[in-house]
Structure 1
Amino acid sequence: MAMMASEIEAMIVAAIPDAVVEITDLAGDGDHYAATVVAESFRGVSRVVQQRRVYDALGGRMGGVLHALQLKTGVPTS
């Protein structure tokens, strides 16, 4: 069963409360998404650690319920 974009966003925000999350369904199938996650708590943290925090927030659903996630992370610019 595919995940809804709102579920992905809710899981990320639950784990990273200061995150601003934008989810795009890339194929319209609920299996292939792109996510942009921006959070002040990412400041000073390597991109690898930022992405690991997002994947951890998804609780092991990557590769299963959530087939593919194109991920961009960063810190607020203003």
Structure 2
Amino acid sequence: MDAERIQALIEAGLPGAQVAVSGDDGVHFEATVVASQFAGKLPLARHRLVYATLGGLMGGAIHALALKTFTPEEAAARR
């Protein structure tokens, strides 16, 4: 598994999301996801949305995925 494939899967599952994924060892990754779909959702619900885009890869090909999730408004406020 590689970061580019994970990024593509998240982008396909959350249309319009801005996604950045990193990870060098092939099993541990970090992702920052900015998506309007996160509006009004608590962090756990946001993470579940991201995990759903990856299906059975979580816990298998992807051993660990650290997530930072933001709405577009939250991401803009961080700049």
> Where on the TM-score scale, by shorter chain, does this alignment land: which range?
0.7 to 0.9
TM superposition score normalised by structure 1? 0.87
Unaligned runs of 5+ in 1: none
Number of aligned residue pairs: give it. 74
Q: Select the residue among 40, 47, 59 that pairs with 1:44.
A: 40
Percent identical across equivalent pairs? 47
Name whichever structure is richer in helix by fraction.
2
Note the C-alpha offset of 1:29. Answer: 1.3
CA deviations 1:24-71 (Å, max 9, x no partner) are 11xx21111100111112111121111001001001211111111111
Unaligned runs of 5+ in 2: none
TM superposition score normalised by structure 2? 0.86
Q: Select the residue among 11, 14, 25 that pairs with 2:12.
A: 14
RMSD: 1.0
Runs of 4+ in 1 over 2 A off after TM superposition: none
